[in-house]
Amino acid sequence: MKSACWNCHAEVDLSARSCPVCGMKLGDSVSSETAGPSFIGKAGHILVLLGAAGVFGAAAWTLVKTGKFADTAATLSAELGRRREARLSEKEKALTQTRTRSDQDQEDIRRQKIWRFNGRVYDMVTLGPIGSARLTFLDKNNGRTFKTKTNHSGRYSIELPKLEFSGYAVEIRHPKYAIFAEDSSPSYADRERSRRMEERETLLSLTLIHVPVLPQEHAYDVRLDYVMTKP
């Protein structure tokens, strides 16, 4: 009956005490081919693994002595850091996009509930801007009033709640001016001075009735320009 040497794996008689090839003593630890690997065979595999570990350890020590280990570690650390930053950057980007979409959605909802009136107030004759003119927007349904005033360029802007069935009555006051009127088409700014003077006299002789401003339901920006004239 044949078996195998655990050292050199040569075929030997089961009754042999030593390997005829390498001379390794076999003793009672040699097993048959059907009995599976012997304890000594397992020990040989362990020695092989230890030898491999020694080889890798020697290689690592060589890298340490030559300084290449530090370079390799630094390169690996830098790459890991780059990947970590890339992941964080992607997460921050996704979070920013989510916040932007959320903010935009909230802004869209807000705009559905308000009108933003803006425009300018200017002198009907000279066409110069009128600063510090006070505008009052009146909701006649419940008596609520909203006020603003023009800047040095004669411009104003105000956001007001949308009204379902009626608009806002507008009143403009300035200590140096007597009356105001809604700008029309063509604009007073596009008319000849002589014509503006004639229309000024007409406005001063009339009692003006201002119609409440009622923008379209889905409007947001509402442009309203006004002219004023001195007495």
Q: Is pLDDT at 54 greater than 70 in this prediction? A: no
Specify which of 141-145, 152-156, 208-212, 218-222 reaches the highest per-range mean pLDDT.
152-156
20 preceded by cis ω (within 30°)? Answer: no
pTM for the complete prediction? 0.55
Percent share of the chain, pLDDT over 90: 40
Domain boundaries, the chain: 2-65, 67-109, 115-229
Position with higher pLDDT, 215 vs 91: 215
Q: Is pLDDT at 86 greater than 90 in this prediction? A: no
Contacts with 222 (C-beta within 8 Å, 6 or more apart), sequence order: 115, 116, 117, 118, 213, 215
Position with higher pLDDT, 150 vs 96: 150
Q: Is pLDDT at 137 greater than 70 in this prediction? A: yes
Q: Is pLDDT at 51 greater than 60 in this prediction? A: no
> What local confidence, expressed as pLDDT, does residue 1 receive?
66
Q: Is pLDDT at 4 greater than 80 in this prediction? A: no
User: How buried is residue 142: exposed, middle or buried, by Cβ count under 10 Å (0-12/13-18/19+)?
Assistant: exposed
> What local confidence, expressed as pLDDT, does residue 32 receive?
42
Residue 58: how many other CB atoms lie within 10 Å:
10
Percent share of the chain, pLDDT over 70: 77
Q: Of 31-35, 132-136, 171-175, 200-204, where does mean pLDDT reach its minimum?
A: 31-35
> What local confidence, expressed as pLDDT, does residue 34 receive?
40
Are 188 and 229 in contact, with CB atoms under 8 Å apart?
no
Q: How confident is the model at residue 102 (pLDDT cuts 50, 70, 90)?
A: confident
Q: If one looks up domain 115-229 in CATH, what number appears?
A: 2.60.40.1120
Summary mean pLDDT of the chain = 80
